[in-house]
């Protein structure tokens, strides 16, 4: 597998991600300020232009700034440069969530990134409510062609096994 080279936008929580560096053999993630200190001051379209022109072959840019997805200049320059743009969308200022959503998708992104072909990876995470255990008992009982009451009766632990230690 080709090791991908991604720049981390100045707004991406690099210190949190750095802790996972050894566990990410498929990608090198480099903060833009480590590429060139002046890059942190550039507009997003300028940053993509500079990554494209840089001596190293960058695969793309990782950011949590989804506003650029609606900017004509940024999207035009992205299409011209052939970079991949990875957006940990909607993560705001929560570095753990931004890193988490990126880590969930990074191997897939690296595998499917095509050098020289502009791609947008719009990543999101959504909160969800808990599942009721009764829903799973219903499914298990239906599959076993029995009732939930019979299933529970056959698998119930005696009260003595559930007593808390004192």
% the chain with pLDDT above 90: 69
Architecture of domain 4-123: 3-Layer(aba) Sandwich (3.40)
Report the pLDDT averaged over residues 42-65.
95
Judged against a pLDDT cut of 60, whether residue 161 lies above it is answered with yes
User: Given this model, what pLDDT does residue 91 score?
Assistant: 57
Q: What pLDDT, on the 0 to 100 scale, is given for residue 48?
A: 97
Task: Say what the pLDDT of residue 59 is.
Answer: 97
Mean pLDDT, rounded, of the chain = 90
pLDDT recorded at residue 124: 84
Give 83-137 pLDDT, tens digit per residue: 999 998 755 567 778 888 999 999 999 999 999 999 999 998 777 899 999 999 9
Look at residue 148 and tell me whether its pLDDT is greater than 80.
yes
Q: Does 34 score more than 60 pLDDT?
A: yes
Order of strands, sheet of 4-8, starting from the edge strand that comes earlier in the sequence = 27-31, 4-8, 60-63, 84-88, 119-123
**Beta partners for 30?**
7
Alpha-helical segments (H) within 1-81: 14-18, 32-35, 44-53, 72-81
- Give the residue from 84, 14, 77 showing the smallest Cα distance to 50: 77
Domain locations in the chain as residue ranges: 4-123, 133-161
pLDDT in the model for residue 98: 83
Residues contacting residue 75 through CB under 8 Å, at least 6 positions apart? 68, 69
pLDDT by residue (tens digit) across 123-139?
Answer: 987 778 999 999 999 99
What pairing do the DSSP bridges indicate for beta strands 84-88 and 4-8?
A: unpaired
Chain centroid to CA 104: how far? 5
State how far the Cα of 123 lies from the Cα of 79, in Å rounded to an integer.
19
């Amino acid at each position: 597998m080709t090791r991908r080279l991604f720049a981390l936008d100045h707004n991406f929580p690099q210190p949190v991600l750095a802790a996972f560096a050894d566990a990410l053999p498929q990608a090198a993630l480099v903060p833009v300020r480590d590429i060139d200190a002046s890059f942190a001051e550039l507009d997003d379209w300028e940053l993509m232009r500079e990554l494209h022109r840089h001596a190293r072959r960058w695969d793309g840019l990782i950011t949590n700034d989804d506003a650029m997805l609606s900017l004509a200049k940024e999207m035009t320059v992205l299409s011209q440069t052939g970079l991949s743009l990875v957006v940990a969308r909607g993560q705001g200022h929560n570095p753990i969530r931004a890193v988490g959503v990126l880590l969930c998708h990074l191997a897939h992104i690296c595998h499917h990134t095509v050098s020289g072909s502009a791609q947008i990876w719009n990543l999101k995470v959504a909160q969800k409510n808990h599942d009721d255990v009764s829903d799973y008992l219903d499914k298990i009982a239906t599959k076993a062609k029995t009732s939930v009451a019979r299933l529970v009766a056959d698998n119930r632990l005696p009260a003595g096994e559930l007593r808390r230690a004192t």
